[in-house]
Amino acid sequence: MVGTVPTFYHIPITVDLVHRVQAGTFPPQVTVVQRCVPPVPNPIAYPEEGLVPLANRAIVLQCFQAFKAFVVSLVLFRRLKLY
């Protein structure tokens, strides 16, 4: 590996999941985690090349910009009293 190899994960956080994690118990329903590996030109070499090729950087930045729409801020999280 040459450098950083970003991979994005989407984990749906529910109030029940937060309470179950705090209590150290398992929730009754499965939490489905989605993984997004950026669609770089050479996915086989991506783990080795990372962000070194300029094309990879551009695609990863596009994915990051798109992924920001799914991120809930800590401020909103605390307002909802999910902690």
For 40, other C-beta atoms within 10 Å of its C-beta total: 21
33: in domain = yes
Reduced to 3 states (helix: H, G, I; strand: E, B; else coil), residue 39 is coil
Checking if the pLDDT of 24 tops 60, the result is yes
Q: What is the mean pLDDT of residues 33-38?
A: 94
Q: What's the confidence (pLDDT) of residue 18?
A: 85
Q: How confident is the model at residue 8 (pLDDT cuts 50, 70, 90)?
A: very high
1: in domain = no
35: in domain = yes
Across-strand partners of 8? 36
Q: What is the mean pLDDT of residues 31-56?
A: 94
Query: Could you list the residue range(s) of the whole structural domain that residue 22 is in?
Result: 8-79
3: in domain = no
Q: Note the pTM of the prediction, 2 decimals.
A: 0.72
Q: How confident is the model at residue 42 (pLDDT cuts 50, 70, 90)?
A: very high
47: in domain = yes
Total tally of structural domains belonging to the chain: 1
Q: What is the mean pLDDT of the chain?
A: 87
55: in domain = yes
